[in-house]
Amino acid sequence: MAIGQRSETVRRANLSAIVRELHANGPRSRSMLVARIGLTRSAIRSLLGELLEADLVREERAALRGTPGRPSPVVRANPQAMVVLAIEVNVDSLAAAVVGLGGEVLELVRVDRAGRPDSVDDTIAEIAELSRRLLRDGRRRAALVGVGVAVAGVVRRSDGFVSMAPNLGWRDVPFGQRLAPALGLDVPVTVANEADLGALAEHLRGAATGHDHVLFVTGEVGVGGGLIVDGRPLTGVAGFGGEIGHLPVNRAGRQCGCGAIGCWETEVGEGALLTRAGRPADGGRDALDALLDDAATGDRVALAALEETGRWLGIGLAGLVNLLNPELVVLGGRFGRILPFVSGSLEEELDRHALAAPRALVRIVPSRLEADASLLGAAELAFEAMLADPAVWLRRSGSVQLASA
């Protein structure tokens, strides 16, 4: 490789490191950037010059804090300069958000569709409509660098092919290929499993920040899992990994939406909990709310149903803790809400079934991003192409006046 070419590659990699640092970790002084990225002060100054000129970052004088020496100015990402569109396709809701560089949520819309998951065609039409609504502002549209979509199903990362989404009633749907033209946006459209994305978001900005061995368990109707191993998402060879909802746990159990008998989901899913409490299995969010209200007032049937669900949660988690030795299990979606009622029986089963050494190291905590975890993870997925090589996008936006508001 010629020297010029090599230095250009290095420059682009360094730009990526700076933008990624500001996006993931928030405002930084120049001296912190020097320390974190390991470049000289003059190299940082020159790269920041480019980013400042493109208005991708902004610099502010730091307030004097009584410390000796001149304060280093604080650099922060400009959330208006580059934005992504995040979409979440769930069984009982559809959500969309515009998220700016640095992770700021600029607008978020959630549409309830309880009890009636829509066909693929209708879902695509609804997403296109939400996208038009959120990107009606021309400057926002011009600042768009990607679309990320979270789907409650088994998704191939390379092209967004949904192999199976039993609770949506989808099978073998080329979702990514059909959604991209329907949106008509000239940016990458990436589709992934909702729990994988929830794990990503909790690791970057939620309950698992600073932890590099994390199991994220989530679900509204079904059960999904997302894994962070050594600080990186574990998705398997095609993105199908982490389908912990379909771990076989009960040979004498019920049939699962995937066709098998006794998957973990059939014991810890919403339907199982509602059935145990003597309520219609398909009662949805309203039925769950009512169940939790009753449990809070001491209703014995509701409490017993939650306790039994906690047992099955603990049994499944014991196997996963033995396999993965995580430091943190983050319970998201419905599991985060029921945790106060199930933690007793859950921890008991964990004590009973997990090996003592990994058991002693793991903590079970609720999600911090709650209902928005997967949506925010979809935003992170959408930022990934730009973060990997911001130089391409700086060139691209050269003809477009970046928002300076």
Q: Which residues bind Zn ion (CB under 5 A)?
A: 246, 256, 258, 260, 263
Q: Please, which residue, 102 or 166, has the CB nearer to Zn ion?
A: 166
Angle formed at CA 91 by CA 124 and CA 188, multiple of 5 degrees: 40
217-226 b/e with 16+ CB inside 10 Å = b? bbbbbbbbbb
Q: Please, which residue, 258 or 301, has the CB nearer to Zn ion?
A: 258
Tell me, rounded to whole angstroms, the distance of Cα 241 from its chain centroid: 15
- For residue 249, the minimal CB distance to Zn ion (Å) is 10
- For residue 255, the minimal CB distance to Zn ion (Å) is 9
Q: Please, which residue, 101 or 256, has the CB nearer to Zn ion?
A: 256
| 3-class secondary-structure state, position 111 | strand
Instruction: Give the integer Cα–Cα distance in Å for 230 and 20.
Output: 19
The pair phi, psi for residue 280, each rounded to 5°, is -60, 130
- For residue 223, the minimal CB distance to Zn ion (Å) is 9
Q: Please, which residue, 73 or 253, has the CB nearer to Zn ion?
A: 253
- For residue 331, the minimal CB distance to Zn ion (Å) is 20
- For residue 261, the minimal CB distance to Zn ion (Å) is 9
- For residue 262, the minimal CB distance to Zn ion (Å) is 8
Instruction: Give the integer Cα–Cα distance in Å for 208 and 210.
Output: 6
Q: What is the dihedral of CA 16, 19, 24, 30, to 10 degrees?
A: 120
Q: Please, which residue, 146 or 245, has the CB nearer to Zn ion?
A: 245
- For residue 263, the minimal CB distance to Zn ion (Å) is 3
Q: DSSP per residue over 129-151, as a string?
A: HHHHHHT-SHHHHHTEEEEEEEE
- The dihedral built from the CA positions of residue 281, 284, 288 and 294, taken in this order, carries a sign that is negative
Query: What are the structure tokens assigned to 337, written together?
Result: 């809400």
| 96 DSSP 8-state letter | E
Q: Please, which residue, 250 or 325, has the CB nearer to Zn ion?
A: 250
Q: Please, which residue, 235 or 266, has the CB nearer to Zn ion?
A: 266
- Helix H or strand E segment including 156: strand 154-156
Q: DSSP per residue over 367-383, as a string?
A: -SSGGGHHHHHHHHHHH
| 244 DSSP 8-state letter | G
